[in-house]
Structure 1
Amino acid sequence: MKKIMLSLIVFLLAFVTACSQESAKPSSSAPATAEKAETKPEGAKPAEKKLPRVAFVYLGVAGDGGWTYEHDQGRLMLEKELGIKATIVENVPEGADAARVFEELAQKNDIVFGTSFGYMDAMVSVAQKYPKVTFLHATGYKTAPNLGTYMGREYQSAYLVGMAAGKMTKNNHLGYVGAFPIPEVIYTINAFTLGAQSVNPNIDVSVVWSNTWFDPATERQAAVSLLDKGVDVLAAYQDSPAGIQAAAERKVWGIGNDSDMGKYAPDFYISNPKWNWGPYYVQVVKEIMEGTWKPGSAYFGSMKEGITTTAPFGKNVPQEVKELVEKKRADIMSGAFDVFQGPIVDQEGKKRFDEGKKMSDEDILNMNWFVQGIKGTVPK
């Protein structure tokens, strides 16, 4: 009897267990697992694109108050607008060291900006080794599938500043300290001269070369050599304010470059061409992120696009001079006036461009001659 009762209890326990297991199984209409049951919430945002790693290579330091300072301001705008934290490398000389720096950066970054003309060959070489990295070179002319160039029409700003200089001079003798005899400097000096001649056909412009970008001692010496010749307006293309400071000591009007240099010689400052790189840096990085950047593209931005402008006029520049310049600025911005439109005659008296003919970008970017009215030579 005990055996019968024990068997019955075992049978009942087995039956209950089986029923419990059967009720625990998922039904065919219910999701098998919680993971499979998940659905994307309606209207959910797609995953954000990964931000590119960006690096900048500077010839000088961000605090130079000129060329590098303005590029660094552009870098800061890029970071703010796109949320990117860029790498910067300062004081990179043009030469073998530049190639080493670009190669190191190419191993860790997606986009590399080189901000000096002399980096060109180094960037071309490194770009060939790293085809998946995008390289962008300021002021150069060599491109590749993953290497583009960018520059602005600084000559438009230089023309306006030249107009002011032509109105401010008393003896019609202007001076200009050029950096290196490369097209960007040559066409800027030419535009400055044409602007001055447009309001004062009797002026001449004496040019000397410092062969520096940032060397205050050398640049000051070059400026003094022109001041000793009696120029009463002095312009300079370098990154330092050494030239306009030397001019102010002689009570001579000064014109700087790249950034607002008025604070260095406030009583004798006219203005100067000024850069604004931020909009370009934001635009081109966006294009690369979106896949719309054109391989090997060459950007040549205008005053209308905001890439170049003029620094505020000095406190002692007459109102009528300011108004004259602003009127011409409006003509340039609207396209009603082109700086390099013929007739244009070189310093040897040869007509380079006939009446009404405009110089092409290729003509401008390969300029290696001075316009009539300039005293000085372009080294071969």
Structure 2
Amino acid sequence: MRAAYGSRWRTRRTAALALLLALALPVASACATNTSENAAGGGGAAGKPGTGGKAIGFIFVGPKDDYGYNQAAYEGSQEVAKAFPDLKVLTAENVPEDDNATRIMEGMISQGAKIIFATSYGHKDPALKVAAAHPDVVVVQQGNLVDGALPPNFGTYFGTVYEPVYLAGIVAGKTTKSNKLGYVYAFPISQTLDNINAFQLGAKSVNPDAKTYTVNTSSWCDPGKQKAAVDSLLAQGVDVVSQHQDCTATVIKATEAAGKYTVGYHANAQSIAPKGWLTGSEWKWGPLYTKIVQKTLDGGFTGSEYNANFRVGLKTGDNPFVQSPYGPAVSEETKKLVEEAAAKIAKDSSPFAGPVVDQDGKVQVPAGTIPDYKTIESITYFVEGVVGKIPSS
């Protein structure tokens, strides 16, 4: 989940082709990387947006091996490659959230891309610009809520990741000895606030004394700031640390080195925290990416559910995330609590089922109320039990 706060697919083809693609694509910066892999195909109805093309493009704001957000998105692109072996998948890493993103997407279109996935929150405006300029290309953007008139070939999608974060909060609440949980986060966008609040609400549901201490880094991936954030939390007595960062390895390694517990995010990073790993919220984008591609190839994107604010989660049955494997410290009792909570959410509840009270004691969600997805993704407050203030900018 990205923010607009500044800059920030089966067998590989031969080295010569990879080089050709890299040279043909207008790279945004020295750190941008572009690769080509076999991907899917088929052809849709002639004249429909996103059909009849030879390629699918994916842009990522960070590296594809960050143990985090971008790695999960890249792995999803590789599943698309396997599902559609007749199409070429173009990928670009380290794409800033500015006009450089526009240039890279334009370069992919020049190579035959008729579907483009802009996977970072801050890629929305460049994606809208490209969609408006190329009505025959479907451009989908990951993570935003959008309103108003939109190009018919543009759409947004995301998953209700705050649901598994709530479940991970249950694990944290049952594991902590100090009743102090830590959360390292980048920017105070609603998606981030949703996750912090869901984590605290999950912990509190099984441990009324649990509190979540927050540290803001103002960056999606700054290892120095991440290490300092972990040190600050540990100094306050925190013994379980989670995060909303794009690259997650630094936070996890620092927490493991201190002998404390880790709750992961975006990808399974248990291998770098074998002792302290508890669980995590892990993106599995492949099925949803594949569904969007197939819908587009069939000529049915325009007017479909992906055109604005499409969301999938536990209730829809096709959620793009999974609960990461449990670590050795998680008891069978705790696993059962998580299973019961997940079933309840899937049936008729939500991590934000009322009453929900904010830090100032104000009731934000009345008792007996279950807010819809849009309401949850518009949250601008911390819930009771979260320690720290939301930055004003």
TM-score category, normalised to shorter length: 0.7 to 0.9
Residues of 2 paired with 1:320 and 1:241: CA distance?
29
2:120 maps to which of 111, 116, 122: 116
Within 1, Cα distance between the matches of 2:182 and 2:350? Answer: 24
**By how many angstroms is 1:247 displaced?**
1.4
Alignment partners' CA distance in 2, 1:355 and 1:120 = 35
Query: How far 1:51 moved relative to its partner?
Result: 5.6
Aligned residue for 2:349, secondary structure, equals coil
Q: How does 1:69-148 map to 2 (within 5 A)?
A: 69-83=71-85, 84-108=87-111, 109-142=113-146, 143-148=150-155
TM-score norm. by structure 1 comes to 0.84
2:322 to 302, 309, 333: 309
Given that 1:52 and 1:289 are in contact with CA atoms closer than 8 Å, whether structure 2 keeps it comes out as no
CA distance in 2, matches of 1:210, 1:240: 13
The structure number with the bigger radius of gyration is 1
Report the CA distance between 1:216 and its aligned residue. 2.1
Query: 1:376 maps to which residue?
Result: 388
Aligned to 1:216: 223
Q: Which residue of 1 aligns with 2:24?
A: none
SS at match of 1:214: coil
* Letter paired with 1:378: I
What secondary structure does 2:139 align onto? Answer: strand
2:302 paired with 1:298: no
Task: For residue 355 of structure 1, give the secondary structure of its aligned residue in structure 2.
Answer: coil
Instruction: Give distance in 2, aligned partners of 1:281 and 1:374.
Output: 34
The one-letter amino acid paired with 1:230 is G
Equivalence for 2:258: 250
Once residues 196 and 371 of structure 1 are traced to their aligned partners in structure 2, the CA distance between those partners, rounded to angstroms, is: 12
> Retained in 2: the 8 A contact 1:215–1:240?
no
Correspondence for 1:286 among 294, 300, 303: 294
CA deviation string 1:289-323 (max 9, x = no partner): 11222442322110331311210011222222122
What residue in structure 2 maps to residue 158 of structure 1?
165
Once residues 196 and 316 of structure 1 are traced to their aligned partners in structure 2, the CA distance between those partners, rounded to angstroms, is 16
For residues 70 and 177 of structure 1, the distance between their equivalents in structure 2, rounded to whole angstroms, comes to 19
Structure 1: which amino acid aligns with 2:89?
A: A
**Aligned residue among 317, 334, 349 for 1:337:** 349
Q: Which residue of 2 aligns with 1:352?
A: 364
Q: Which residue of 1 aligns with 2:269?
A: 261
- Greater mean deviation of Cα atoms: 101-110 or 146-155: 101-110
- How much has 1:106 moved relative to structure 2? 3.2
Q: Deviations over 1:51-86 (max 9, x none)?
A: 652100011122222111111111111111122321
Whole-angstrom distance in 2 between the partners of 1:243 and 1:132: 42
After TM superposition, list the pairs within 5 Å mapping 1:195-234 onto structure 2: 195-234=202-241
Q: Provide the residue aligned with 1:321 in structure 2.
A: 334
Name the CA distance, whole Å, in 2 between partners of 1:141 and 1:325.
29
Per the alignment, do residues 170 and 54 of structure 1 end up closer, same or farther by CA in structure 2, a change over 3 Å counting? same
1:366 counterpart SS class? coil
Higher mean displacement: 164-173 or 312-321 = 312-321
Alpha carbons 1:236, 1:244 under 8 Å: kept: no
CA 140–107 in structure 1, closer or farther in 2 if over 3 Å, else same: farther
- State the one-letter code of the partner of 1:353: V
> How far is 1:366 from its partner?
1.3
| Structure 2: stretches of 5+ with no match in the other structure | 1-41, 45-51
Between 1:149-158 and 1:68-77, the stretch displaced more is 68-77
The CA RMSD measured in Å over matched residues stands at: 1.7
Give the total of aligned pairs.
Answer: 333
- d(CA) in 1 for partners of 2:328 and 2:56? 39
Q: What does residue range 21-60 of structure 1 map to in structure 2 within 5 Å? A: 50=52, 52-60=54-62
Would you tell me which structure has more helix in proportion to its own residues? 1
